Amino acid sequence: MGLLDGPGFSLPIATAVEVVDVQIEVSDSARKAVLAAIGEQNDTHVLIISAKAGGCSGYLYDMVVVEKPDNDGFQTIDIDGVTVMIHNKDSTLLNGLRLDFRDSLMGGGFHMDNPNADRACGCGQSFG
Amino acid sequence: MTFDDNLHPLAEYIEIPSGVTLLSGKNCHEHLNRVSSIDISSKFLKREESILCDLHGRIVGHILHADLEDQILLVHNPENAKEIRNILSTGVPWNEDVKVSTGDGAVHRLIVVGKNPGRVLIGLGIVANDLEQDSWTEFFDSMICLLAQTDEYTAFEMLIPTQLLQSVKEGFETNGGNQGEADSWLALQSLTGNIDISIESSKHIPFELGLANLIDLKKGCYPGQEIHARMESRGIQARIRRCLSSDKQIPQGKARFSEEKRIEILCSHRLGDIWISYCLISTKLDVNGEISIEASDSTITATFV
């Protein structure tokens, strides 16, 4: 597109991020739920917890089970046989996170308690 | 009120000072959608406007989008470009490809407005009747769309790269167009109830500026959404935007009028011999007609339009 081909556009903006050594707590119920989600792929797959822009409070939690990424930007935390990975750029936002799992038909599922959050959305998926 | 005396018989081209930001990468739409007040459509060449807000529901930036498939060109007020780019470059997840670049001065926003701008555009090889509202049409390395069409005037909006700007301007001059002033266009926008993206709107609640059309409460969460939803459901709005006409420019900012009533002037733009201003006043005040605004060093008489 010619409109963007001319001079004047900068290189992508690089955002400086502070990196801290992440420590998280995972309750026994959450550990079992993650193990159940990973299933027989526990040797190859990991749980990645991350934060992305959005939600009512500025950031959204995201949790995915994926094949262990070949990326040295992650910190790896072993929780009794479950491998949890957190990217360095999310380290200050997620350090001290407590992950719980509530087995309930109403409001059940994973719950995050984040000491870095000044505010949280009513649904619990967003923090800031 | 008629604009007739202030409208060019053919067209004026008006350059609006703008901040330009380029969002690129295969996940740029998803990323923008998570922080934007509207559901981003991801339709190639779509023209949209949206708002980025802080957690308190106050505006950080009022943005014009040009969707270029795997890139979105964002045009906004240059004054709050830093804050807009800060929102866009923060919180990009590890598994998404999103890049934010600045393009101030690389692309220029031109408004072409008058009683018959089609006559000028045809000289440049642009058929005005083919242009659509809410959708950009590519014209060489530029883009153009229909912005407004009324009985009195027609306006087109162009995004032009720096290297073409001078030749496009010369093309307008050769075909009967003149260079106009941004003030006239912004005053015209105020009179017709629109808020141009170049108006400084940061720190205001979208509803008080009349920008409720840029809030989509059905799209789900975005920063500020909880506040907006609560305001909408309770029907609470402390202030409302009104338009004033005066013989003098009214200084921007907070002031008082008749018997200590409060008013905030958002902007004041010249249209011929008069000044057209947007102000915010309490929804509890039922005022019309003429008021006297106590500006810093004088009293200015203004009339609600």
For residue range A42-68, list pLDDT tens digits in order.
889 999 999 999 998 899 999 999 999
The residue behind tokens 């999310």 is A90
Q: Quote ipTM for the complex.
A: 0.87
Minimum CA–CA partner of B108 in chain A: A3
Residue B53 has pLDDT above 90, yes or no: yes
For residues A97 and A92, give the distance between their C-alpha atoms in angstroms, rounded to a whole number.
Answer: 10
> Among B28, B94, B107, B227, which would you mutate to test the A interface (most chain A Cβ atoms within 10 Å of its Cβ)?
B94
Q: Which residues in chain B are closer than 8 Å to A2, comparing Cβ atoms?
A: 140-141, 161
State whether residue A121 sits within 8 Å of chain B by CB: yes
> Among B24, B143, B221, whose Cβ lies nearest the Cβ of A126?
B221
Tokens representing residue B85 in the block: 């780019």
Q: Which residues in chain B are closer than 8 Å to A64, comparing Cβ atoms?
A: 95
DSSP codes joined into one string, B4-53: GGGS-SS-EEEEEP-EEEEEESTTHHHHHHHHBSS-----TTBEEEEEEE
The residue behind tokens 């991801």 is B42
| Beta sheet of B71-76, edge-to-edge order | B47-53, B59-67, B71-76, B19-24, B99-102
Interface of A with B in 94-113 (CB under 8 A): none
Residue A1 binned pLDDT confidence (cut-offs 50, 70, 90): low
For residues B62 and A73, give the distance between their C-alpha atoms in angstroms, rounded to a whole number.
Answer: 34
Let me know if domain B238-304 sits in CATH 2.40.30.110. Answer: yes
Residue B170 has pLDDT above 90, yes or no: yes
Tokens representing residue B28 in the block: 């740029």
Tokens representing residue B294 in the block: 């106590």
The residue behind tokens 């967003």 is A126
Please give the CATH number for the structural domain made up of A25-127: 2.60.300.12
β-partners of residue B294 are B256, B299
Q: Which residues in chain B are closer than 8 Å to A124, comparing Cβ atoms?
A: none
> Among B221, B227, B228, which would you mutate to test the A interface (most chain A Cβ atoms within 10 Å of its Cβ)?
B221
Contact B224 A56 (CB under 8 A): yes
pTM of the model: 0.91
Which amino acid does the sequence have at B105?
G
Say how far residue B6 (Cα) sits from the centre of its chain. 21
- The tens digit of pLDDT for each residue in B209-222 reads 999 999 999 988 99
Residue B287 has pLDDT above 90, yes or no: no
Residue B1 binned pLDDT confidence (cut-offs 50, 70, 90): very low
Tokens representing residue B93 in the block: 């997840």
Q: Which residues in chain A are closer than 8 Å to B95, comparing Cβ atoms?
A: 50, 64
How many angstroms separate the Cα of A3 from the Cα of each of B15, B40, B111, B169, B179? Answer: 17, 21, 17, 16, 22
Minimum CA–CA partner of A86 in chain B: B94
DSSP H/E element including B256: strand B253-257
d(CA B225, nearest CA chain A) in Å: 6
For residues A71 and A48, give the distance between their C-alpha atoms in angstroms, rounded to a whole number.
Answer: 12
Contact B100 A12 (CB under 8 A): yes
Contact A6 B162 (CB under 8 A): yes
Cβ atoms < 10 Å from Cβ of B13: 24
DSSP H/E element including B266: strand B261-271
> Among B35, B93, B107, whose Cβ lies nearest the Cβ of A3?
B107
State whether residue A55 sits within 8 Å of chain B by CB: yes
Q: Given 3-state DSSP classes, what are the helix, strand and coil percentages for chain B, each rounded to the nearest 5?
A: 25, 40, 40
CB A63 within 8 A of CB B94: no
Minimum CA–CA partner of A56 in chain B: B223
What residues contact B116, with CB distance under 8 A and at least 6 apart? B9, B10, B11, B154
Residue B72 has pLDDT above 50, yes or no: yes
Please give the CATH number for the structural domain made up of B8-234: 3.30.1360.120
Residue B142 binned pLDDT confidence (cut-offs 50, 70, 90): very high
In chain B, where are the structural domains located? 8-234, 238-304
Q: Which residues in chain B are closer than 8 Å to A46, comparing Cβ atoms?
A: none
A·B CB contacts under 8 A: 124
Contact B106 A6 (CB under 8 A): yes
Q: State the pLDDT at residue B105.
A: 92
